[in-house]
Structure 1
Amino acid sequence: MKTLKDTRITEQVTGDKRRRVEEEAPLMLSIRDIAKKSGISIHTVRLWVDRGDIPYILAGNKRLISWHTFCQFLNGDMRRKKVAR
C-alpha cells in the first residue's frame, strides 16, 4: 500500500527553463501538539507564542506552529526578537 506524503509543487525558473520541484510541506502543529511532542508545558509554549517569540498562523481559532521553526527556536537558531504580526 502506498502512503501519501504532504507535498507542495513549486516551479523553479532557471534561465529559459522551468522545472517542477516537489517539496515536503511543513509539519504544522497546534500549541497542544507542540507541547506534547516536545515535552514542554502548554503554558510555556503559549507564553512564547503570546510574547511573539515563535511565529504562527491562524486556522480558524487555532494557532498552528511549524515544527521546524519551533525546533530552530529551541536550538537558538532563531533570533530572539518579537515576531511582527
Structure 2
Amino acid sequence: MAKCMNERPFRSEAPQITGIVSLTQKLQVHLNAADSDEVVQHAMSYGSPSIESVLRDLKERCCTEVLALPSIRKARTPLSQSSSARRTLR
C-alpha cells in the first residue's frame, strides 16, 4: 500500500508563524506556572495580528512596559552565496 508523503495535519499558516505562535504559547504557560502577571503576545509588521492591534490590546490591559523581541528568519546560506541573490545583484 502506498504511503502518503505528507501525513502532517494541514496548516493554513507559514511554518515560521506556526513556530512563533507555539513559542508564544509555551512562554505564556511557563510564566503562568511561575505566578507571573506578564502577558506574551506575538505581532507582525505584516499579516495578523498587526503590531498596532497588539499594542492597542496591551494598552487596554493596562500594560505599562513592552519588551519586543524581533524574530528574524535566518537564511540557510549567506546572501552572497544564494543563486537567486547573485542573479538579482547582477
TM-score in terms of structure 1 length: 0.24
TM-score (norm 2): 0.23
Pair member with larger Rg: 2
* Bigger relative contact order (CA 8 A; separation at least 6): 1
Between Structure 1 and Structure 2, the one with more strand by share is: 1
